[in-house]
Structures are given as structure tokens and as C-alpha cells.
């Protein structure tokens, strides 16, 4: 199955690849971009959501932060399929819809921790978290300290 090449055949094969090897060793011209970005055309981003749809989705999330919000419901607001909506939302906002929702919930809990003396378990439910443990885990992940420490660090 395998053939053994003679030294002469091996040298002729190496010579065949020399133009490619030489081209790789030379530095590219700085005036020619190496890769063009197909997503950006003429300074405008393509493939994202319209600003009106983003605004509608953000308002919906803020109004229903204490409830269970599905990606399917958000996609329906934008009148898109779930798969396309997730990609378009990430392109427009910079994070996935789930990450955005968690961040908004953490921001809401930060506001409640700073302004009220409500117990942590009630704050977790008011912000839409399933329970206090999930809330504490996500809060620590995003803020870098526990909710209790955050509340005590506020003046």
C-alpha cells in the first residue's frame, strides 16, 4: 500500500511546494486586509435586530422581570424563529438573551438590596430567581461578592 519514494522523487515534490512556502514566509502587505468582515458592510452591522425590536424586548423584560420569561416569548415579540432571534439578539446587544435576563435580574436585586430591608429570599423571588441559592450564586458571579456583603457594604 505504501510506496517508498526515492530521494530524487522526494526532492522534486519539495520543489513543487516551494512557491507556497515562500509565499507564507513573506510578510503580508499592510495596505491589504487579511480578512474582510462579511457582517459589517458600509459601517452598518448586518444581521442584528432592529432598534425598535430591541427596545420592545428590553421593555418586556423590565416589566416582567419577576416572572418566568422564555426565549420563545422574546422571539415571538420580535416575530422571529428562536434560533435566528438568539443570534440576532447577541449581535445587537452583545450577550445572549439568557445572559441579558440574568444581568437585568442582578441589577434589580442590587437596587432592592440598596433601597430596602426586604429579606434576601423575598428579593430573589421579586427579581424572578427560582430561589435564594440561585440568586446568591448568580449575584456572586456577576458582582463578585455575596448579596449579604453587598447590602452591608452600602452606606
Q: What is the mean pLDDT of residues 6-28?
A: 46
Residue 113 contacts residue 147 (beta carbons within 8 Å) = yes
Distance CA 106, CA 60 (A): 16
The closest alpha carbon to 93, from 128, 59, 65, 51, belongs to 51
Per-residue pLDDT reduced to its tens digit, 92-136? 999 999 999 999 999 999 999 999 999 999 999 999 999 999 999
- In this prediction, residue 75 carries a pLDDT of 96
Q: Is residue 145 part of a domain?
A: yes
Q: 24-28, 113-117, 149-153: lowest mean pLDDT where?
A: 24-28
Q: Is residue 8 part of a domain?
A: no
Q: 29-43, 53-67, 97-111: lowest mean pLDDT where?
A: 29-43
- In this prediction, residue 39 carries a pLDDT of 42
More confident position, 68 or 32: 68
Q: Is residue 38 part of a domain?
A: no
Q: pTM of this prediction?
A: 0.68
Q: Is residue 10 part of a domain?
A: no
- In this prediction, residue 125 carries a pLDDT of 94
Residue % of the chain over a pLDDT of 70: 70
* Structural domain harbouring 59: 46-153
What total number of domains does the chain contain? 1
Q: Is the pLDDT of residue 137 over 90?
A: yes
Q: Is residue 51 part of a domain?
A: yes
Confidence at 6, pLDDT banded by 50, 70, 90: low
Distance CA 30, CA 116 (A): 57
Question: Domain holding 134: CATH number?
Answer: 1.10.10.60
Distance CA 144, CA 51 (A): 32
Q: Is residue 11 part of a domain?
A: no
Q: Is residue 25 part of a domain?
A: no
Q: Is residue 18 part of a domain?
A: no
Structure-block grid coordinates of residue 73: 416569548
**Alpha-carbon 102 to chain mean position:** 12
Amino acid at each position: 500500500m505504501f510506496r517508498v519514494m526515492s530521494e530524487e522523487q522526494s526532492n522534486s515534490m519539495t520543489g513543487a511546494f516551494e512557491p507556497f512556502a515562500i509565499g507564507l514566509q513573506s510578510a503580508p502587505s499592510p495596505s491589504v486586509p487579511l480578512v474582510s468582515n462579511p457582517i459589517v458592510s458600509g459601517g452598518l452591522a448586518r444581521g442584528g435586530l432592529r432598534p425598535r425590536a430591541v427596545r420592545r424586548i428590553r421593555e418586556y423584560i423590565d416589566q416582567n422581570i419577576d416572572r418566568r420569561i422564555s426565549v420563545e416569548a422574546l422571539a415571538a415579540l420580535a416575530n422571529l424563529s428562536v434560533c435566528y432571534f438568539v443570534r440576532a439578539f447577541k449581535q445587537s446587544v452583545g450577550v445572549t438573551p439568557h445572559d441579558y435576563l440574568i444581568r437585568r435580574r442582578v441589577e434589580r436585586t442590587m437596587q432592592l438590596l440598596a433601597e430596602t430591608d426586604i429579606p434576601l429570599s423575598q428579593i430573589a423571588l421579586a427579581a424572578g430567581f427560582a430561589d435564594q441559592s440561585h440568586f446568591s450564586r448568580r449575584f456572586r458571579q456577576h458582582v463578585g461578592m455575596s448579596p449579604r456583603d453587598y447590602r452591608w457594604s452600602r452606606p
